[in-house]
């Protein structure tokens, strides 16, 4: 029979390993998106970039949250390509309850940004939500097919 101390040591090791492995990019407002530890990034920010090669390429500009019926929310956000080249990405949004738990997630949608383009991204939750995080990832060659 394992002791409680052994179980706690195992849990701490697993938590540390997950924290080290998971990384992402974060930006809010008109700031550029930079690569950072994703451990709390998705819970504490409104927009994260999940592909390290997209570092500093996108900015998360102004956004608006509109309350809908039954506690649902609608989000409109400006996402800008900060480069002089076309960027092909996928965007998804997760919605959270008042405790920060994810309970709703949109499908990944493909977007092609022209150089320096600002895209107006719109999404609504399917059920009551208190918060959201927009996630951006690079489209791989296999995903393009």
Domain boundary assignment for the chain:
23-140
Please tell me the predicted confidence (pLDDT) of residue 138. 92
In whole angstroms, give the CA distance from residue 142 to residue 14: 31
Please give the structure tokens belonging to residue 138.
Answer: 């690079």
Please tell me the predicted confidence (pLDDT) of residue 22. 34
Please report, for the chain, how many H helices and E strands are present, in that order.
Answer: 3, 10
Q: What architecture is the 23-140 domain classified under in CATH?
A: Sandwich (2.60)
Residues pairing with 7 in the sheet: none
In whole angstroms, give the CA distance from residue 13 to residue 62: 39
Contacts of 81 (CB under 8 A, 6+ apart): 57, 58, 87, 113, 114, 115, 116, 117, 118, 119
Please tell me the predicted confidence (pLDDT) of residue 142. 56
Please tell me the predicted confidence (pLDDT) of residue 141. 66
Per residue of the chain (145 residues), what is the pLDDT tens digit?
555 555 545 444 444 333 333 333 444 445 555 555 555 667 778 898 888 888 889 998 899 999 999 999 999 999 999 999 999 999 999 999 988 888 899 999 999 999 999 999 999 999 999 999 999 999 876 556 5
Contact call for residues 82 and 32 (beta carbons, < 8 A): yes
96-123: burial string, b at 16+ Cβ within 10 Å, e else: beeeeeeebebeeeebebeeeeebebeb
In whole angstroms, give the CA distance from residue 49 to residue 4: 38
- Which residue's entry shows tokens 């920010």? 45
Look up the pTM and report it: 0.70
What separation in angstroms does the CA of 16 have from each of 25, 52, 104? 19, 21, 27
Please tell me the predicted confidence (pLDDT) of residue 38. 53
Please tell me the predicted confidence (pLDDT) of residue 25. 40
Query: Vertex 126, ends 124 and 130: CA angle to 5°?
Result: 70
């Amino acid at each position: 029979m394992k002791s409680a101390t052994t179980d706690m040591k195992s849990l701490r090791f697993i938590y540390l390993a997950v924290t080290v492995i998971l990384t992402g990019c974060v930006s809010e407002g008109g700031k550029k998106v930079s690569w950072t530890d994703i451990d709390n990034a998705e819970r504490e920010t409104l927009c994260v970039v999940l592909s390290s090669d997209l570092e500093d390429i996108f900015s998360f500009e102004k956004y608006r949250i509109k309350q809908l019926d039954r506690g649902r929310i609608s989000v409109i956000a400006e996402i800008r390509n900060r480069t002089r080249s076309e960027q092909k990405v996928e965007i998804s949004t997760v919605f959270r309850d008042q405790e920060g738990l994810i309970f709703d997630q949109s499908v990944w949608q493909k977007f092609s940004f022209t150089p320096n383009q600002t895209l107006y991204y719109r999404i609504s939750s399917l059920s009551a939500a208190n918060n959201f995080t927009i996630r951006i990832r690079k489209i791989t060659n296999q995903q393009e097919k």
